[in-house]
Amino acid sequence: MLNFQANRRTMLRSMVGSSLLMPGIVSQLCAEEESSSFNPLAARPSHFPAKAKSVIFIYATGGVSHIDTFDPKPTSGGRDGSGKDRLMGNLFGAQPSPNCGTLVSDLFPHVRDVMDEICLIRSMKASHFDHSEATLGMHTGSPTFARPSMGSWVSYGLGSFNQDLPGFIVIAPHLPYGGTQVYASDFLPAFHQGTRVIPGDNPIANLRPPGRSAKLQELEIDFAQQLNRQHLADRPTDSALAARMKSFETAFRMQAAAPEAFDIDSEPEHVRQLYGLDRKTKGPGKDFGWQCLVARRLVERGVRFVELIDTGSRPNWDSHGEMNEHKDLAYNVDQPTAGLIKDLRQRGMLDDTIVLWATEFGRTPTREGKNGRGHHRDCFSVWLAGGGFKGGHVHGTTDEIGKYTVENPVEVHDLHATVLHQLGMDHERLTFRHAGRDFRLTDVHGNVVKELIA
């Protein structure tokens, strides 16, 4: 592509200043816009009637201990089957949910109170035993090769309801293991890549250009788009250029839509308190409550897929040496997570919004170091709420120490297939031709777990 950056700006300013050619160019651009029907992010019909239309994916980085959270095991002391390692049961206590009786650790008292809305899977099996690979497996279906993320597949398959905001947004104070690949589009058209938002006073940097009127900026972008369209006409398969063109358009419209979407000051006090926020909270900072409340606002405004990453720097949930690290991490996310479910329910949004909570793998039932646990891929817990999933349901069981699944195992591909099914998509039909073959999120695996569906 030709480099227009320096000359383009000079040309535009000269032309706008003299007003000799700009009216004709603007007229041509308007005519082109009216004749063009291509919109890669427009909402598209699903394969069959959908139960859900949006996803909020809450990802806990580092490997949450299932034994200390959603699959509490009392067994401590003694040895595991190998006779070498000392067993360590749940360290934080547990109580049954008051509504459905599901046993949940005292680390999550607020989430425990909404377990009647939650479909809990205790029999997940991780795709790998190392962080980066297992994280990529949970996000993309492939622990070893670069593949599009689940959010990108959903954007590709269904598009977005709001053309003024990205269809796939990732709110992440820090990147998890696996880095940017967790929201990459890889070989899918690049406009389906996730847009990262960093919690803080300026969630999307450089959203408003300094010292530039909106009209002048619109003229600049329109003229740049005209040049890009001429260039793209000779290169119709250039996904990167097409995505860049679309990003210019979306970025311009985001200048009005995004600040409003990320501004929680308009929320009533009782809603803010639901997420653990109040008027004394100054700015969003790194508070997970802000992430959850903004996720609801984004879905409410038509964003198709929102991912929330609750941490990424140490300490995260990777508690090799000290399980008490789980205590503060759970405290930070417990009330906001439950508040999100309650808020969606009160607004009538939970029925068609999937809330998925997951981590990359569990942790061993045996002690590691002084008071920690190692990586454990053979069984761990994830849960789903809303979107047509069974509330108050527990799927799968593990043995008495939480080491192996003994009933109804669920693979990562099965989880992905089931989420896509609730969005009205057949995971075997959602494909993209690349390198001579059809790829899909579930590769050549995956079954819809019908027992999870209401």
* pLDDT tens-place string over residues 170-183: 999 999 999 999 99
Residue 411 — very low, low, confident or very high, per pLDDT cuts 50/70/90?
Answer: very high
The mean pLDDT value for 98-126 works out to: 98
Residue 210 has pLDDT above 90, yes or no: no
Asked if 352 and 55 count as a contact pair (C-beta separation under 8 A), the reply is no
Torsion from C-alpha of 176, 402, 385, 174, nearest 10 degrees: -10
Of 194-203, 210-219, 303-312, the poorest mean pLDDT is in 210-219
pLDDT at 16: 43
Residue 5 — very low, low, confident or very high, per pLDDT cuts 50/70/90?
Answer: very low
pLDDT at 246: 60
pLDDT at 39: 76
pLDDT at 32: 39
Residue 25 has pLDDT above 50, yes or no: no
Residue 11 — very low, low, confident or very high, per pLDDT cuts 50/70/90?
Answer: very low
pLDDT at 8: 45
Q: When comparing pLDDT for 315 and 157, which is higher?
A: 157
The mean pLDDT value for 88-99 works out to: 96
pLDDT at 238: 62
CB neighbour class for 100 (10 Å; exposed up to 12, middle 13-18, buried from 19): middle
Residue 369 has pLDDT above 90, yes or no: no
Residue 212 has pLDDT above 60, yes or no: no
The mean pLDDT value for 4-16 works out to: 43
* Domains of the chain, each with CATH number or no CATH: 1-34+210-261 (no CATH), 44-203+284-452 (3.40.720.10)
Report d(CA 174, CA 172) in Å as an integer. 5
Residue 190 — very low, low, confident or very high, per pLDDT cuts 50/70/90?
Answer: confident
The mean pLDDT value for 387-401 works out to: 97
The mean pLDDT value for 308-337 works out to: 90
Q: When comparing pLDDT for 177 and 208, which is higher?
A: 177
Cα distances (angstroms) measured from residue 72 to each of 108, 338, 364, 405, 424 = 12, 19, 12, 14, 34
Residue 82 — very low, low, confident or very high, per pLDDT cuts 50/70/90?
Answer: low
Q: Within 48-185, where are the H helices? A: 109-113, 131-140, 150-158
The mean pLDDT value for 338-367 works out to: 97
Tell me the average pLDDT of the chain. Answer: 85
Report d(CA 362, CA 79) in Å as an integer. 19
Give residue-wise pLDDT tens across range 279-288: 565 544 458 9
Residue 394 has pLDDT above 60, yes or no: yes
The mean pLDDT value for 98-110 works out to: 97
Q: When comparing pLDDT for 363 and 20, which is higher?
A: 363
Closest CA to 147 of 178, 104, 122: 178
pLDDT at 199: 85
pLDDT at 370: 87
Residue 233 has pLDDT above 80, yes or no: no
Task: Give the H or E element holding residue 111.
Answer: helix 109-113
The mean pLDDT value for 12-35 works out to: 42
pLDDT at 386: 98
User: Which residues lie below 8 Å from residue 56, measured CB to CB, with a gap of 6+?
Assistant: 295, 296, 299, 306, 307, 308, 340, 353, 354, 355, 356
Task: Give the H or E element holding residue 437.
Answer: strand 437-439
Q: Is the peptide bond before 315 cis (omega within 30 degrees of 0)?
A: yes
Residue 375 has pLDDT above 80, yes or no: yes
User: Which residues lie below 8 Å from residue 218, measured CB to CB, with a gap of 6+?
Assistant: 252
Residue 213 — very low, low, confident or very high, per pLDDT cuts 50/70/90?
Answer: low
pLDDT at 311: 75
Percent of the chain with pLDDT over 90: 67
